[in-house]
Amino acid sequence: MFVFVPKDALAQQFTAARLDMIRPKLTWASIDVFRKRSVTIYSYDDKPLEIRNLYEIPENTKYYINTEYESLINKTKQHYRYDLNRSGKELTVSSEFYDNNHVFEIQTIPNEYHVFHSQAKISNTTTEGMVYLTSERFMFIPQFLQMPHFMNNQGIKMDYMYLIKTQLIESMTLNGTSIVLSMNPFYHPDLPSTIELTFTSQPLVLSFMSSLRSIRFEDGGESPLHKLSVNGENIRNSHERVDGIYNPIVELSRQGMEEMYMISDVNAHFKVCPTYPSVLVVPIEMNERMMVNIACFRSKGRIPLVTYYNKKTGAALFRSSQPLVATTFAFGVFKKSESIDDQNYITHIRCDGRDDKSVLIVLDCRAMANAVANRLSGGGTESSGSYKNCIIDHLNLPNIHVVFSAYQKMINGIINRSKKEVSQFYTSVGEWIDILQIINESICKTCDLLKNGNRVLVHCSDGWDRTPQISSLSRICLDPYHRTIEGFLGLIEYEWIMLGHKFQSRLRNQTKENSPIFIQFLEIVVMLIKKYPNAFEFTPLLIKDLAVESVCPTTGTFLYNCEKERRKYDVCTTRMSFFQHIIQNKTVYINPNATLKKYNEIETKFEVFEYRIWNEYYLREFDQICISPQK
C-alpha cells in the first residue's frame, strides 16, 4: 500500500478514507490487507476467486475482500471491507467509506520497489500504524489514515507520520521487539534525531532490520541506490574517477609546474598511501624508494603534496599529515624519531629554485598542546632542530569533535529559535560562528604568506579535515580559476575527494567520527560569495546543492572515504556523477554579473556582522515528511 499525503494537508485533521494506488512492479505483498500466499476475493454477486497476485484480477472488474485489524494496544479486532478495482496496469484499493474529497496515496517513484511492511507503533506512545520499507524510502503511516473507523472520527489530530529517504537512516539499534533508527544530523533541523518503533514480535523486528540492512548498509555501509546497469554505454575504464573534472596533466600545465613536478603512479595499487589517489603529483627528483620511506614517516602515509604554485613569485602551498617524530614514550621521555628522506624532501620543497637560506613555513592546524599530545601516539610536528629553516606556527583550529559539538548546539538553537530570546539564540550559534572566524583568520594568514612569495606546508594530524579546509579556501582566494564552476568542482574533486576526506564517516554512517567539516568549508565559500558576489561565476545555489548531495548522495561523487574504497565498490562504473550533472545544467548556477578579471585575489576578512546563519541550507524547505508532537 502506498499513500501520499499532500504537504498542504499535513497539519490538518483527517477524516477521510484511503485510496491505495499500486504500481505495476509491486506484488500484493505491498498491501497490508493481503498477508497470505493466496487470498480469496469476491465479486459483487459473491462468487469467490482465489488469486496469488493482485494482477491476476481480471481487467475492468470489481471485487472486494474482507479483512480484520487487531489493535496492538488493546488487542481488539475490527473488521473492514476493501473494494478492488483493476483498470489496465493500475489497481485501486478503497474502502466502502471512500470520500472523493479526501484521497491519500503514497506513489512510487521511478525504480522504487517494495521491500517490507508490517504493523507497528511508535514506542512509548499509543500511535499505531503500518511501517513500509521500499528501496528508496522508510514510511510510518498512522492507522487512522488507513482504517475507516478512524477516518470517520471527526476529532482526530495528526500525531506521528514519517516518509523519509532510507539514505537518511544512519544506524539502527535493536531493543527487544523495538528498534531505534538514528537519523542523519546534517540533513535538516526538522529531521528527528531518532525514531523508535515497536513491532508485534521478535521475528518481525529482525525481518525489518534485515530488510533495511540490505538496502541501506550493504556495499561497505553506503546505500546501493541509484546504481547504473552495467552495459556497453555505462562501462568506463576501471581507473577512471566517477567525475573526471580534475585532470592532473592539465593542472600541471595551468599552474606552470611542468619543469618542477611530474605525475607518478607509485601509488597505483594504494600501497604507499591507502587514502591518497592512484596518481600523485610529486617533484621530478623524487624516486619510488624515497616516497615509500617518507610515507612510512608520515601519519597514514600521507606525504607532502603540492596544491598551489605561483610561477611568478615561486610561492607554493603543500599539504600532508603530521610527521611521526615520536615513536615511543617511556619513563616520562619521548624517544625521538627521524627520517632523513623526509628531512631531505622538506629541504627540497623549501629550496627548489631558491637558495639554501629560503624558509618553509609549517602551519600546524592544531593548537600546540594538541600537537604535543599527539606525540603519545607517535605523532607531533616538525622541529627547527631537525628541519632546517622551518618556522612552525599553530593555527589553533578545533578538532572534529569540538566542531560537531558546536554544530549540535547551533542546530538546537535553530530548532528552538521561536522559543528563545535573541541572546539565547546567539549563545546557541555563537560557538559555531567562532570556529568559522578562526578558520577565516587562518586562511588570511596562509594567503598573506603565499602573496609574499613564501613556501607553506599545511597539516593537522591525518591531513584530511582541517588541512583541506585551509588549502582549498586559500586557493579560492588566490586563484580566480577556482571561482569558475569547472575550477571550483575540480578543486573539490582534488582537495576533498581524491585526497581522502572521509565523507562517509563524517557525514553519513553514525560513528564517533561524525563532523560537518565539508559543510563548514561550503559555508565559508557562501560567505565569500556574499562578500564578493561578482568574483564568482556561480551563485550560492550551487553550494547549497553540493551540501545536500554530500549528506544524502544521489550519485557516486561523494560516496565512501577514499579512491581505494570507491574502486573496490565499482563507483566509477555503476554510478552517475553529480559534477557532470552540474556541468550539464550549468545555466541554473551561472552568475550573470560575474566579472572575475576584476577580482584576481579576494580575502576572508569579515566584519562581525557578516557572520550569519546559512539560511539557504539550514532553513531550506524540508523535502521529507516528519510529523510528531515535537515538530
Which residue ranges are tagged as binding site for substrate?
A: 399-400, 460-466
- For 251, list phi and psi in degrees, rounded to 5: -70, -35
Q: Tell me the three-class secondary structure of 331-363, residue by residue.
A: CCEEEECCCHHHHHHHHHHHHCCCCCCCCEEEE
Q: What φ, ψ does residue 229 adopt, rounded to 5°?
A: -70, 140
* Residue 272 neighbours by CB under 8 Å, 6+ apart: 266, 291, 292, 295, 301, 303
Euclidean distance between CA atoms 594 and 539, whole angstroms: 10
* Rounded Cα distance, 304 and 346, in Å: 8
* Distance set, CA 376 to CA 370, 384, 394, 396, 467 (Å): 10, 20, 19, 19, 21
Rounded-to-integer distance, Cα 528 and Cα 254, Å: 24
Give dist(CA 382, CA 387) in Å, integer. Answer: 7
Beta-bridge partners for 362: 392, 457
Q: Which three cell numbers stand for residue 608?
A: 562581525
Neighbours of 503 (CB within 10 A): 22
Residue 364 CA to residue 299 CA, distance in Å, equals: 14
In this structure, which amino acid lies at residue 73?
I
Report the binding-site residues. 399-400, 460-466
Sheet holding 77-87: strands in order across?
19-22, 90-95, 77-87, 61-70, 39-43, 48-51
Q: Phi and psi dihedrals of 270, rounded to 5?
A: 60, 30
Nearest to residue 85, comparing CAs of 104, 106, 62? 62
Q: What is the rounded CA–CA span in Å between residue 470 and residue 374?
A: 20
Cα angle 213-219-221, degrees, rounded to a multiple of 5: 60
SS3 of 464, please?
A: coil
**Residue 55, helix vs strand vs coil:** helix
390 assigned to active site: no
Instruction: Look at residues 453, 446, 444 and name the one whose alpha carbon lies nearest to residue 309.
Output: 453
Cell 537518511, residue? 168
The x, y and z cell numbers of residue 302, run together, are: 600521507
- CB of 436 closer than 8 Å to CB of 524: yes
Rounded to a whole number of angstroms, the distance between the first and last alpha carbons of the chain is: 26
Catalytic residue among 447, 460, 552, 562: 460
Which phi and psi angles does 249 have, rounded to 5°?
-70, -45
Q: How far apart are alpha carbons 311 and 453 in whole angstroms?
A: 10
Q: Which three cell numbers stand for residue 269?
A: 595499487
Residue 482 CA to residue 466 CA, distance in Å, equals 19
Which helix (DSSP H) or strand (DSSP E) does residue 587 occupy?
none
Task: Give the residue numbers marked as catalytic.
Answer: 460
